[in-house]
Structure 1
C-alpha cells in the first residue's frame, strides 16, 4: 500500500483521493521507504499530531524533500539566502513570540477591510473574459488575483507579479518536488529573486514606514523584549507572500471546478446565496490545496497504533483526513448543507492554524459570488488536469470553463 502513496506516481497525481481511501481502509499508518516518512491516513490521528507540540516538531515543514545540491546553493548564496524558522516550521516558545507579533500586524480588521478591494479586482478580471465563449480560469483569474490582493495589503506594485508568482512556483519545485540538476538551477534563480525582493521590502520599510502590513509588522516589535530581527522579518515576508497566494490560486480553481461538477448546484447557488459560505468550506475540505503536511517525532512516541522512533518524519495526509468517513458522511461528495464542513483540517489546527485562512475564505466567497452574478450556466468541457508533482501541494495548472 505504501507504494501507492507516492505523490509522484501517475495514479496518485490522477486521483489521490481514491489512493487515500484505499490507504485508510488498509491501515491508520504506513511507512514509505521511498519517501522515508511514516504516513498517517485518519482524521483523528492527524489532528492529534498537529496539535501536539510536546511530542512533535514542526521544524521539517519547510525542509526540502531532497537536499539542495551545489547549483542551488550557489544561486541562493548570491542573495545571501538565510532560512530561519518563524511560522509554520517553528516550535514554541519561539513560535509564540513570532506569531504574537505577526498577529498584531495581520489582524481581523485589516482583512475585513479587504472585501471591497478584492471584489473590485475580481470584477476587473471577469470583465476581461466575460464576452468569451471559453476561458482558461487559472491564467485569467486564479493565478494573478491572490497575489494582487496581497500586494494591496503589503504596499507592493503590481509589477512584482511575475517575480512573486514564478518565484513561488520555483519554491514548490525545489522544496516539495524532485527536480533534476538543470531544473533545480533554473528554479533556484527564480527563488533567489523572490527572496531578494522580500528582503528589499523590509529594508525599504525599516527606512520609510508606511500604512501597510510590512510596516505594521515592524511596528509590532516596538516595546517587545525581543522584536523580530531583519532576517526574521524577511523570512516572515518570504513565508506569507508565498503561502498567501500559491495555495489560494489552487483553492479558487478547486472551488469553481467542484461547484461545476455537481449538477444543478450553480443554479441553486444563484437562487440562494446563503449557501455560498458553506460551499466554500466544502470545496476547501474536498480539495485541500496543501494536501499533505509534515511533522517530526521529537522522541519515541505512539500514534495511530504504531510506535514511531525518535526523529521519525511524519507525513500527514490532510486530503485523506478531510474525506475520512468516520468524520464526514459521504465524504467524497460536496454537500452544501453539511453541518460540519468547517471541521476540515485544510488550514491546520491549534497553534499553527493558518494565518491566511480568513483571507482565503474571503477570496473564495467573493470570486464565487461575482461569477454567479455574471454567468447563468457555465460548465466544464471534457479535459484532463495536469498537476505539478509535489509531496505537499495540489494545484491544477489549467482549468477550461465554457461560459
Structure 2
C-alpha cells in the first residue's frame, strides 16, 4: 500500500513545475518510495533518485553514456535547429569532456586536470581570499546587502572572469554568457527564445575565440592559455570547436554551481544560528560544513546520461537510447544512505559521501576549486560580519525555475560589521 500511495502522490508533481523545482524533496521521497524508476510523462526521461542506483549509473559509463544532446529538453526539432544555428554563426556544441565516453574522455580529462590541480588551487587561495574581502568591503558599512548578487555570484564569477581574460568589473557580462550556455539544458524554450539565447552564447564564443588565438601566441598563465597550449605533448591541438565546448562546460560547472552553493551556505547559517555560532567558535569545522551544504541542497540537482543498451535498474527496464537523469539532489537525501536526510547537520559523519560532484571517471574536475571558494566565502563573511539575519521574508518560489540546478533568486540580509 505504501508503494501504491507513493505512485499516486507522484501524479501530483512535475519536475517542470517551478514550485516543484524550487522544493523538489517531497517528490524525490515519493520517487524513492515508489517501485522502480520514475519516468517523466512530459519528456519520457527516466529519473534515477536512489543513492545506490545513482552509484550504479555513475560508475558504469559503458551502459550509461555521457554522449547526450545538452538541448534534449527542447525536443528533437528545436535541438537540431539550435545545432544548425550555432554551426552557421559560430561553433556547434560538439562532444568533449563531460559529454564524451572512453577513450575520448581520457584525452580531454588529461588536459583539464592540469588546470585544476590541488597545487594551482592552493596558489589561487590568497587571491580568492582577497576577492572575498574586497567584496565585503563594498557593503559591510551599509549593514545590509543582497547576498546572491553582491557576493555569492561575484566571488566565483570574478575568479572565472579573470581566468577568461575579462576585467573583474565585467562579471555581469560573464554571468550573462554563463546563463546562456546553461539555458538549453535548464528550461524549456520556444524556438524564438532558443535562438535569442543562442545569440548571447555566440557573443561569448567569439570573445573566447579571440582570446584563444591570442593566448596560443602569447600565453599568460590563465585557464585560456593552459587550454590553448595544452597540445604541447599531444598529437594535435584542440580545435576551436573543442576549445569552445570545454570552456562552456568549465564555465557552466564552475560558476552557477559554486554561486548556488555559497547562497545555500548562507541560507543554512540563517536557518540554524546555533550551527553558525559553533562554526564561529571553531572555524576548523568549515570543511564538513561545506560538505553538508553540498549534500543538503545539491547545487546541480541532476545531469543527463543515455543508455547504450536495454538495461534493468531497480526492476525497471530502460530501453536503449533513453535519456536518464541522475538526480544528485535526490540521492543526497536518500534515507537509505543518510540518517534523517532532511535535517541539516554540519557535524554529520558521512556528509562527504554525497554524490553532488558525481562519481567514477566523470567526477567533477573543479571540485577542489569549488570547495575552496565556498569555504573561503563563508569564512570571510563570519570573520567580518555579526548578527546576520534575513532582512525580509523570501517570496515563493525561492529558487529560480531550473530543471537541473537549484539557484536562489535572492537572499537579502542585514548584519553588523565587526570592528
Q: Describe the superposition over 1:157-206 as per-residue Cα deviations: whole angstroms up to 9, x where unpaired.
A: 22542332112212333332112344334322212212222222212212
In structure 2, do the counterparts of structure 1 residues 95 and 194 end up closer, same or farther at CA, with 3 Å as the change threshold?
A: same
CA contact (8 A) 1:71 1:184 kept: no
- Provide the rounded CA distance (Å) in 1 between the counterparts of 2:54 and 2:80: 35
Change (3 A) 1:379 1:369: same
What CA RMSD, in Å, does the superposition of the two structures yield over aligned residues?
Answer: 2.1
CA positional deviation for 1:78: 5.7
From 345, 355, 371, the equivalent of 1:361 is 371
TM-score normalised by length of structure 1: 0.94
Quote the residue 1:262 is aligned against.
272
Partner of 2:138: helix, strand, or coil? helix
Aligned match for 1:251, one of 245, 261, 272: 261
1:75 to 1:229, Cα distance in 2 relative to 1, 3 A: closer
Distance 1:241 1:308 in 2: 32
1:391 pairs with one of 400, 403, 407:
403
For residues 160-309 of structure 1, the aligned pairs below 5 Å read 160-309=170-319
State how far apart, in whole Å, the 1-side matches of 2:100 and 2:360 are: 13
The count of aligned residue pairs is 403
Q: Does 1:12 align with 2:24?
A: no
Cα distance in 1 between the residues matched to 2:335 and 2:285: 23
> What are the Cα deviations for residues 265-311 of structure 1, in whole angstroms up to 9, with x where unaligned?
21111111111110111000011111011111100111122111111
Query: How far does residue 4 in structure 1 lie from its aligned partner after superposition?
Result: 4.6
Contact 1:147-1:245 at 8 Å conserved across structures: yes
Which residue in 2 is equivalent to 1:316? 326
1:222 Cα offset (Å): 1.2
Q: Partner of 2:102 in structure 1?
A: 92
**Displacement of 1:260 after TM fit?**
1.5
TM superposition score normalised by structure 2: 0.90
Residue 155 of structure 1, CA deviation: 4.2
Distance 1:181 1:79 in 2: 16
2:4 counterpart residue number: none
Secondary structure, aligned partner of 1:379: strand
* Structure-2 separation of matches of 1:289 and 1:237: 20
Unaligned ranges ≥5, structure 1: none
- Match for 2:112 among 102, 106, 121? 102
User: Does the 8 A contact of 2:71 with 2:79 survive in 1?
Assistant: no
Q: What's the offset of the Cα at 1:77?
A: 4.7
- Work out the CA distance in 2 between the residues paired with 1:118 and 1:28: 45
Closer/same/farther in 2, CA of residues 62 and 181 from structure 1, 3 Å limit: closer
Judge which range, 317-326 or 25-34, deviates more. 25-34
Q: Match of 2:324, SS?
A: strand
- Kept after mapping to 1: 8 A contact 2:49/2:326: yes
User: Are the aligned partners of 2:22 and 2:400 in contact in 1 as well (CA < 8 Å)?
Assistant: no
Structure 1 match to 2:3: none
Equivalent-residue separation in structure 2 for 1:168 and 1:71 (angstroms):
21
SS in 2 for 1:84: coil
* Residues 122 and 367 in structure 1, CA contact (< 8 A), matched pair in contact too: yes
